[in-house]
Structure 1
Amino acid sequence: MGRVEGKVAFITGAARGQGRSHALRLAQEGADIIAVDICDQMDTVPFPMATPEDLTETVKLVESLDRRIVSRQADVRDLAALEGVVAEGIAELGRLDIVCANAGIASMQACWEFSERQWQDVLDVNLTGVWKTVKAAIPPMIQQGTGGSIILTSSMAGLFGFPNIGAYNSAKHGVTGLMRTLAVELAPHSIRCNSLHPGVVNTDMVHNPAFYELAGVPGATRAEAELAFTSLNALPVSQVEAVDISNVVLWLASEESRYVTGTTQVIDAGATAPFKVPHT
């Protein structure tokens, strides 16, 4: 029997990257999935975003594991759309137990150089979109009366400051505060809430020219960028894999973490450790 057998998980940003990985890891352990992604390009985002074909691939991969999935193209900035997806998913799959508020974007500028729209888009997706995700999911979870687990994707940038991603930093710090508030408010309903704080993760959001420039290696090849990323981490690795984050999602979604709430789960290869270990 899987570790989340019979449960249903609602995942945003599920078309690729960490979101797809979370869907597959939970499905491997018995969960059915409600998957959403905008599957469109926002013009303030300096890297290619997911496509409808990416979401279709997530569906195929989940179904190949003999699990059910309800997938919809939806924007986390649209509360009515999220509420509709949640209602449709529950109607088809029968329940809702796990929420992974994972969708996120980034723009790269010094704080004072952001346009108003760049700033607002990042805040709207990465913070308000997380709030809208849980706002859509919490009432039916409370009504269901069987508890649950809400997992909010923050970042190591939700714990420390990093230059030239001020909107992202601000939103991810906000997600950390939202998580702590929800953990207290939802405890009487046996709904737990925790946040994830990944470091550099091997996804399309990282491996693109805009992120390489941010990391101080403009025009780098992937191999050159990965070498530079290694210098960020205490462990002698360039990045973590999406499944490393998904394994923590699985633990937080399972009964193994039944008394874990209000915590910040850091998966960053030691990037935020107080002292760095020299690589030899």
Structure 2
Amino acid sequence: MPKISVITVNYNNREGLRATLQSTLAQTYSDYEYIVIDGGSTDGSKTLLEDQATRVDHWVSEPDGGIYPAMNKGIAIASGEYLLFMNSGDTFYDAEVLEQVAPALERHRDFYTGGVCLDGKIRKAPTSVGPLFFFNQSLPHQSTFIRAELLKARPYREDVPIVADWEQQLYELLVRDGTYECLETVICNYDTTGISSVCLAEGKLDNYVLPMLRDHFSERMIAAHRFNVHDVRFKLRTLLEHVDSLRERIRLLRYSLKLFFTAIHK
């Protein structure tokens, strides 16, 4: 079965790192490697890593340029066929997660996403991902297995402090038309204090999202992003309810998407 690289990025989050280390090292699956990239923490994280040095396959503690340069550093080191980013504070849902997921990885999709446990509630992965999905969310990196060769060929952008993982998913799944599979397995306990989660709550994502959309798509999609996506869904759903023919529904849906989503392949 495929080798999996689990990558943890940490900076001055010793207790979060401790929880992630314990959770990852408890995995029962045998063919995985564990990589920890610490950004030169001053809170004792390095000492914690030194104590676990014989159990962590690769680790480094040195200053870096932020979360995405650190993630890219882990990507460069990784030797697995699939990568999973379980950053400090995130934990596996149970000890058998990797063992449960590994057989599915033999189908060689580009992306696999499983469920997350958020505030004690299970949230399942989307069964499919398309333009409307990416308007207001992304696949959680804590529960998403990505084919390593994609990230080695095109690492995360380092010119933005957040949402580079969203941009990578958008490019690979929509622009490049990559493959995706929903997993029934619950992968992780989600840490809601992550930087992208905080910026999403504060409504700051458009500062970075719109320029990225402009890089990949036409002005029509950018304009559509500025609309309330729930209004768009509601109006389209209402219109479809008045069309009886399945063929006409499909035609109308395709036409509607074409109006605001014109992909420009790089």
Give the structure-1-normalised TM-score.
0.32
The structure with more radius of gyration: 2
From the two aligned structures, give the one with the greater strand fraction.
2
TM-score (structure 2 length as normaliser): 0.33
